[in-house]
Amino acid sequence: MNTLSLAAPAKVNLFLEVTGKLPNGYHELATLFAKISLTDRISVSAQVADKEKLSLRITGPLANGLEADENNLVFRAVRAFEEEFGLPLKADIVLEKNIPMGAGLGGGSSDAGTTLRALCRIFAKDPMRLLPRAAKLGADVPLFLYPDPFLKGEGIGEKLTPIPVAGSLPWLVLVYPDSHVSTKGVFNRLHLNNPKQILTNISNLDRLLLALASASPLPQWQPLLFNRLEEAVLPYVDAVKKAKEDFLSLGACPLMSGSGSTVFALTPSQEQAQDLAAKMQQENRKVFIAHFGGTNDENN
């Protein structure tokens, strides 16, 4: 069997505005995804077989609570690959879980998307063919079929445009307050903004993209970071609210990622990130230091 191991990077949202609600209940977004160096790892051994035979083993410090059954997104990703290319597989997959679940970091979506990329590498297939099937697995899964570290997301998040970024980038300190936030519950609580304010915020997203492309220093674009979903999380989840307040008390400019519960802040240097991370440590929190751009093998 052919074997390949790839990092499955987490993502943060540097910007997230909700621009509308579709008749099917899904919400339309304008968002900026950024992949980071906090990763799961997917190891795939696969070959074409007369009859499908799949196995999944989950390891790593955050493996507890994850079931290696038919409902796991990794299994569903393999099935999507088989259906698209008409290839029944014998595949053994190991998922090393390091990204918290329900944290707004896209861990499950990354695991699925990275599984698809690994299979495409093994069998010399174009991962872009899988975009429609990936979107059916989850709105964030298509993000992880792209090699690009920064992507603008529109629609329900599945319409993606790679974004050029120049210059040196800041470090991230991420705080996961050991609280799972239901994405469905967040959107149920959300009230759409008025059209004028939405247009103003979309203009700020355009300014943020321009600043990143022109290598502007962090103080120039940090005030443009935004997440509409904070208003549907912070008043309802004390642990997330407290993480943001603690960052603010230390002079940081924190932002919640996605629908929560992770809160992150940016620092100009790794040393400052380490200092901030040490101050944010508390019982019932997981604190991570990361940089932008995924990992070395993310783009290979």
| H/E element, 65 | none
Mean pLDDT over residues 258-286, rounded?
96
- Closest of 41, 36, 82 to residue 58, by C-alpha: 41
- Same domain, residue pair 27 and 54: yes
Q: Are residues 135 and 186 in the same domain?
A: no
**Structural domain that includes position 32:** 2-163
- Same domain? 186 vs 285: yes
Q: Is it the case that residue 298 has pLDDT exceeding 60?
A: no
Q: What is the mean pLDDT of the chain?
A: 94
Domain co-membership, 203 together with 283: yes
Residue 243 pLDDT more than 80?
yes
Q: Which of 11, 35, 97, 244 is catalytic?
A: 11
**CATH number, domain at 34?**
3.30.230.10
Of the listed ranges 53-62, 169-178, 185-194, the one predicted with least confidence: 185-194
pLDDT at 19 over 50: yes
* DSSP-assigned beta bridge partners for residue 246: none
Judge whether 126 counts as a catalytic residue.
Answer: no
Asked if the bond preceding 261 is cis, omega within 30° of 0, the reply is yes
Tell me how many domains the chain contains.
Answer: 2
Which pair of tokens denotes residue 7?
A: 């990092």
pLDDT-derived band at 297 (thresholds 50, 70, 90) equals low
- Is the pLDDT at 26 greater than 90? The verdict is no
30 and 155 in one domain?
yes
Residue 296 has pLDDT above 60, yes or no: no
Please pick, among 40, 111, 140, 148, the residue that the annotation labels catalytic.
Answer: 140
Domain boundary residue, one of 109, 135, 163: 163
d(CA 287, CA 137): 29
Cα separation, 140 vs 175, whole angstroms: 21
Indicate the pTM of the whole model.
0.94
- Are 229 and 257 within one domain? yes
State which of 163, 190, 207 marks the end of a domain. 163
Cα angle, residue 150 at apex, residues 38 and 231 outer, rounded to 5°: 80
Whether residues 270 and 175 fall in one domain: yes
Residues 140-174 pLDDT 10s: 999 999 999 999 999 887 899 999 999 999 999 99
In this predicted structure, what is the pLDDT of residue 180? Answer: 85
Of the three residues 163, 193, 209, the one that is the final residue of a domain is: 163
Q: Clarify whether residues 123 and 19 are in a common domain.
A: yes
Tell me, yes or no, whether 39 and 159 share the same domain. yes
Say whether both 13 and 159 belong to one domain. yes
The CATH number of the domain holding residue 200 is 3.30.70.890
**Domain shared by 128 and 99, yes or no:** yes
> Is there a catalytic annotation at residue 136?
no
Residues 291 and 183 grouped into a single domain: yes
Among 268, 194, 259, residue whose Cα is nearest residue 13: 259
